[in-house]
Structure 1
Amino acid sequence: MEVIEITDQELDAQLAAHPKAIIKYYADWCGACKLFNPKFKRLANDERFSDVVFLNVNAENNPEARGKAGVSNLPSFAIVEGGQFKETIFTSKEEIVVELLGKLN
């Protein structure tokens, strides 16, 4: 599945359309965020996570989406299930993101 770039205006519709989601919060100036992009794309195409939608949110331009996840550092990742934010973490380690994805039922 592709990684979908979304804005504040699109967040609720995407979460309503997909029961399971992971959101990566980034900023254009964030080097660690840029380095994680290929890893996030690879995870989005991983068969283990075929039922999860992968969303990208520019944290600087989308304060509403950032606030819903309580993001204070970048890159951050939030998992959402049934429209409810379950957990948000700050990391640049792929194995930590894989563990987070494993918490989606």
Structure 2
Amino acid sequence: MKVVDTNDEGLRTLIHDYPRVIAKFTADNCAVCDLLAPPFIKFSLEEEYQNTLFLRLDVSENPVARKLMDTRVAPFFVSYCRGKLSECDTLLTEDQVKAMLRALNTCTDTP
């Protein structure tokens, strides 16, 4: 599945439409955001994560996303299991993103 660009409203809807969602909040002039873009796309295409929806939001255009980040900086990742916040943190390495995805993969498709 490809990475989907969305906004605050789309995020609110999509986390309830898919059992597993990971969202990456990015910002302009964020070197780490750019560095993690290729691995994020690569993970979205891997068979292991085909039941996970990958979202990307620009925090400067989405006030709800920005508020969710609180005092943290981009790239900020949030995972949802069946519409509920599962994990959120600023991630700086590909291995950290993969660890969040593996944890999210333990979420079952049914409540």
- Stretches of structure 1 that go unaligned for 5 or more consecutive residues are none
Q: Which amino acid aligns with 2:33?
A: C
After TM superposition, where is structure 1 displaced by more than 2 Å over at least 4 residues in a row?
65-71
Structure 2 equivalent of residue 58 of structure 1: 58
For the pair shown, the structure with the greater C-alpha radius of gyration is 2
TM-score normalised per structure 2: 0.86
Q: Map 1:1-105 onto structure 2 (within 5 A).
A: 1-68=1-68, 70=70, 72-104=72-104, 105=107
**C-alpha distance after superposition, 1:22-54 (max 9, x if no partner):** 000101221110121111100000111111000
**C-alpha distance after superposition, 1:47-88 (max 9, x if no partner):** 111110000011121121233454621111111111111111
Moved more, 71-80 or 47-56: 71-80
- Stretches of structure 2 that go unaligned for 5 or more consecutive residues are none
Over 3 Å counting, the alpha-carbon distance change for 1:69 and 1:20 in structure 2 is: farther
Indicate the structure with greater helix content: 2
Cα distance in 2 for partners of 1:9, 1:71 equals 22
Equivalent pairs counted in the alignment come to: 105
Cα distance in 2 for partners of 1:57, 1:70 equals 15
